[in-house]
Structure 1
Amino acid sequence: MKHSYKFGLAMMLLTMMSNANAQDVALKTNLLGWATTSLNAGIEIGTAEKQTAQLFATLNPWEFSGGKRVRIWNVEPEYRWWTCLRFGGSFFGVHALAGEYNVKNVDLPFGILPKTKEGRHYEGWYIGAGVTYGYQWLLSRHWNLEASLGIGYAYSPYKLYGRCDRCLKKDHRNYVGPTKVALSLAYMF
């Protein structure tokens, strides 16, 4: 009984996919994410003539040379309204985001976290929401290219650790700015 909600979610997804016609489902990956060595994938499903729902996930488990580390996991559901027909042209969306991070010796863009001295690192989690604008180009019958930008808010409590993994500070961040940037390749079926 403990895992019945997972079974129900899986059955709902399978039912939606079994009723899907051509151009109703897209599997996607964010090429910009791969440029930062982040593993990522998403699925987008048509829900109405001009509407889709997307679920995207990102994971970066690596540690880099020089003691640099940007370990993250992120999930991002999004609902989209297309100006013409779904999976082509302009769209507007609303998205949510949630995840965890462990960042060391890397200054993140847009002032996401305060800069630190070498050897210190941040650990924390975040939750937020935003709005999106994007455009999708039809490359062929099964392939699309999509560009999108999201702006929003995220709340993030974090801990700052020193060289000996001693917690130096507990605080939080109220972030307002870009919450998603994507150049995605999509396979339509």
Structure 2
Amino acid sequence: MRHSNFKMRTICLLAALSGVAVLSAQTPAKPRVQTSAAPEETTVYKPDGKKPVTVIGVPSNKGEGKQDVSGKADKRKKTVGLEGGRYLALKTNVLYDACALLNLAVEMQVSKKITVELPLTCSLWDLGSEHGVRTVALQPEARWWMGNEAGRGHFVGLHAHVAWFNVKWNDNRYQDVDRPLLGAGLSYGYKLPLSEHWGAEFTLGLGYANMKYNTYYNVDNGALLDTRVRHYWGVTRVGASLVYRF
């Protein structure tokens, strides 16, 4: 009985091994890839003995493929210069500088065709015994550029202004009271590039200003003459600026 069981087990084992051998013979082997080919060529050998197939454009290792991608990225970075970057500039109005009104402005791009300029004007000294302008003024402006690039060509702007002043001129002195000068206006201008970073800007604005001020005799401790509220319509912005673009 044991001999019969042993014989039966032997026959089953041989049958199983035969089946595995048959299946292995029918399963094709994986193609061998020639790794010594050039980076742009890879030869694949087929198991059936047919002519090998050469595949063009397949890199032989991952490192070279990564180098190519980084090279393309570097080329893209080189093509992006000042023309495609965000506009940021520092400027001064030379007309105000000539009148001893020190000023400095920063202009930055907030969208494709819109920039915001933040100028500060300051003068804390007199020009003489009879003339002097002491002021601290802010005049922010939002600009829309007509061309394809912000910071180049024609633009229109909407500005507001706030100023504290103490002006003496000839026989009288004028000083704000209770509140600063307030107003707003519209402007038009043109930016002319001079070089990669330098440029010239010209602008003219018209608008409204409201001010309340006291009038004094233009002498030391001069007497108060009157207090007035004035509504002004006219030129509210004028400039010929030297611009440095970052």
Question: TM bucket by the smaller chain?
Answer: 0.7 to 0.9
Partner of 2:163: 99
Q: In the aligned structure 1, how far is the partner of 2:223 from the partner of 2:204?
A: 37
| Correspondence for 1:127 | 182
Equivalent of 2:205, from 113, 125, 150?
A: 150
**Number of aligned residues:** 157
Could you list the per-position Cα deviations for residues 94-152 of structure 1 after superposition, in whole angstroms to 9, with x for gaps in the alignment? 0000011111125xxxxxxxxxxx2x211013000000100000111111110000100
Per the alignment, residue 122 of structure 2 pairs with 59
- For 2:93, the equivalent position in structure 1 comes to 30
Gaps of 5+ in 2: 1-83
What TM-score, normalized to structure 1? Answer: 0.79
Equivalent of residue 90 in structure 1, options 151, 154, 157: 154
What percentage of residue pairs aligned between the two structures are identical?
Answer: 38
Which residue in the other structure is 1:180 paired with?
237
| Counterpart AA for 2:228 | D
- Superposed displacement of residue 166, structure 1: 2.5
Offset, 1:62? 1.5
Structure whose CA Rg is larger: 2
Q: Distance in 1 between matches of 2:237 and 2:87?
A: 23
**Contact 1:42–1:54, Cα closer than 8 Å, also in 2:** yes
Deviations 1:15-62 (A, max 9, x none): xxxxxx845200010010111011100000011111100100101111
Asked if structure 2 preserves the Cα contact closer than 8 Å seen for 1:23 and 1:87, the reply is no
Letter in 2 for 1:132: S
Local SS of the residue matching 1:86: coil
Length-normalised TM-score, structure 2? 0.61
Distance 2:191 2:169 in 1: 36
User: In structure 2, how many angstroms separate the alpha carbons of the residues matched to 1:147 and 1:156?
Assistant: 27
Instruction: Tell which has more relative contact order, 1 or 2 (C-alpha 8 A, sep 6+).
Output: 1
State the alpha-carbon separation in 2 of the partners of residues 98 and 165 from structure 1.
26
**Displacement, 1:68?**
1.3
Write out the 4+ residue segments of structure 1 that deviate beyond 6 Å after TM superposition.
Answer: none
